[in-house]
Every structure is written in C-alpha cells, then in structure tokens.
With several copies, the nearest count.
Chain A
Amino acid sequence: MADSGTKVKMEQVKCASGDPITVLRFAGDITSSSEPAVLGTYGGLSPETSKRILLDFSKVEYLNSSGIALIIQLLYAASQKGQTVQTFGLTPHFQKVFTMVGITKYTKLYPDEAAACAGFE
C-alpha cells in the first residue's frame, strides 16, 4: 500500500523588514500518523533562532481532525516558548474549518506567503 504520508520541508526566509522566518512547508496528508512530521519537525527548531514560524498548507491534500489536533499541539508548544506562528495556503474549506474550531485565536490565516510574512511586522 503506497502511503501518501506527510511531507515537510523546512526553509529559512526573510521578511521585508529583514527578520528571519522559519517556514514549515507541509505536503500530502496531515492525519493521526503525522506526529513525527509535524511535532518532530517543530521540535527540531531552536526557540532562539526560530521566533517566527510560518505554516504553509498549500500543498496539503488531505487534513482531518486528528491532523488539526497536531497543529494545535504545535501552536500550544510555540505559545509556551514565545514563538509566533502564522498560517497560509489553506483552502477556503479548511479556513472555515480552522475558524469553526477556534484555532484562529492562536494563529492568523493568510491567503498567501507574502501576506503571512507581512503579518509578522
């Protein structure tokens, strides 16, 4: 059985102001089996150098409530460490779902990467 699984790519970018931003680019599925990809990758970031984190969902094909629970755990951990997390690339449907469950109180949803970067300023 081919498992489409979760792919994640870590990237460092700079926003207009020159501040460094860590981008986690997810692809594939985010489900209950994505813990290593989501929390493992997040856990590898240093709280000192990764103050600003951007979650890129634009290549995510399937996201369920267990996957959203992992994102909530990431947000919880980040809030504990004083990191700011912004989000972009969600389809209109999943923007609605994130809003329904109330995540938008803890991470803002932006239409694209440029807007999300600007959101840190």
Chain B
Amino acid sequence: MNGKNVNSIELRLPSRLGFEKVAMSTASSVAKLMGFAPDRVEDLKTAVAEACINAMEHGNKLDESLIVDVILSMNEGSLEVKVLDTGTGPPEGVHAPDMDKKMHGEEASRGMGMFLIQSLVDEAEWVSAPLTGSYARLVIRLNNTGD
C-alpha cells in the first residue's frame, strides 16, 4: 500500500478460515464511518467475507503463512475494497447458481461466492496477475440504496 494514501486502510490476515470475520468487522466499521446505511453494510460484509474466503481457500490454498491483504479505499461517494491473494485468480467468470440443477444433483451445491459478491455490491471485478498476486475488487456507492 502506498503510505501516502491518506484515504486507505489496510488489513493483513493469515489464510485461516474464520479470520474473514475480522475483515467483515473492519470493513463494516469503515462503511459506518462513511455513513452507509445498515442494509448496505450487511451487503458489504457478506461480499467481503466471500472474497476473503476465496482468497484464503482458492488463492492461497489455505496455507496459513500466506497473507490475504484487504485494502479499503474511501472515496468521495464510494468505498472500494480490494482483496489480494498470492494465487492466479479465478479461471472463469462469475457463474450464477442454477438451483434446479443443484436440487437435482447436477451441479455442486457450492459455487455461489462470486455470484453473491457481484449481486451484493455495485461493482465487482477479478484481476488475475499471476506474478504479483490477484485480487477481487468491490465497490459500494453511497448514493445507491441497494436492491
């Protein structure tokens, strides 16, 4: 993180399932400081949790010595959250769950994280940078009252 960025807060977590809750609390507190409504804070918490779990599980392969880096950047009307891991990023785009297929055993019951992230925030992208690590980038906007 650029030490000169006076609007960024950074959180660094070992890749241990459960620690995503710390990221949820940190993000929630930043969003509250910025004046986000409680329902948007909930959206953000779930999106941040899912992004951290994916970074730990898929990006860092649950190697606890690998860090998940969460960078919260406060802008005028929006909060951007980048969740970085040391992996190569998701191989495919976002897949919407097909509940009928799941209910007939034709699709894994899992595989909803990226879909939830994309559905809950105003902007979501996944940037794969195999050499420097990859990240999920989420944005929620203050003027958006949610769906």
Tell me, yes or no, whether B46 is within 8 Å of chain A by CB.
Answer: yes
Tell me, yes or no, whether A27 is within 8 Å of chain B by CB.
Answer: no
Distance, CA A79 to CA B42, complexed state (A): 31
Bits for A54-81, please: 1 = Cβ < 8 Å to B, else 0: 0000000010111011101101100100
Chain B residues positioned under 8 Å from A32 (CB to CB): 17
Q: If A1-B33, A2-B33, A105-B99 touch, does A66 touch B53 (CB 8 Å cutoff)?
A: yes
Bits for B52-92, please: 1 = Cβ < 8 Å to A, else 0: 01000000000000000000001000000000000000000
Chain B residues positioned under 8 Å from A3 (CB to CB): 18
8 A Cβ contacts from A90-116 to B: 91-93, 96-97, 100-103, 105-106
Name the distance in Å between A32's Cβ and chain B's nearest Cβ: 7
Q: If A3-B18, A72-B109, A102-B97 touch, does A65 touch B103 (CB 8 Å cutoff)?
A: no
Q: If A76-B103, A93-B42 touch, does A69 touch B112 (CB 8 Å cutoff)?
A: yes
Name the distance in Å between A109's Cβ and chain B's nearest Cβ: 14
A69 x B110 contact (CB < 8 A): yes
Name the distance in Å between B49's Cβ and chain A's nearest Cβ: 6
Chain B: interface residue total (CB-CB under 8 A): 34
Chain A residues positioned under 8 Å from B120 (CB to CB): 97, 100
8 A Cβ contacts from B16-41 to A: 17-18, 20-21, 33-35, 39
8 A Cβ contacts from B85-128 to A: 97-100, 102-105, 108-113, 115-116, 119-120
Could you list 7 A-B pairs, sorted by A, with CB under 8 Å?
Answer: A32-B17, A64-B50, A64-B113, A69-B112, A72-B103, A97-B116, A101-B112
Q: 7 closest A-B pairs (Cβ-Cβ)?
A: A2-B35, A102-B99, A93-B42, A69-B109, A69-B110, A72-B109, A65-B112
Residues of B within 8 A of A (CB): 17-18, 20-21, 33-35, 39, 42-43, 46, 49-50, 53, 74, 97-100, 102-105, 108-113, 115-116, 119-120, 147
Residues of A within 8 A of B (CB): 1-4, 31-33, 62, 64-66, 68-70, 72-73, 75-76, 79, 91-93, 96-97, 100-103, 105-106
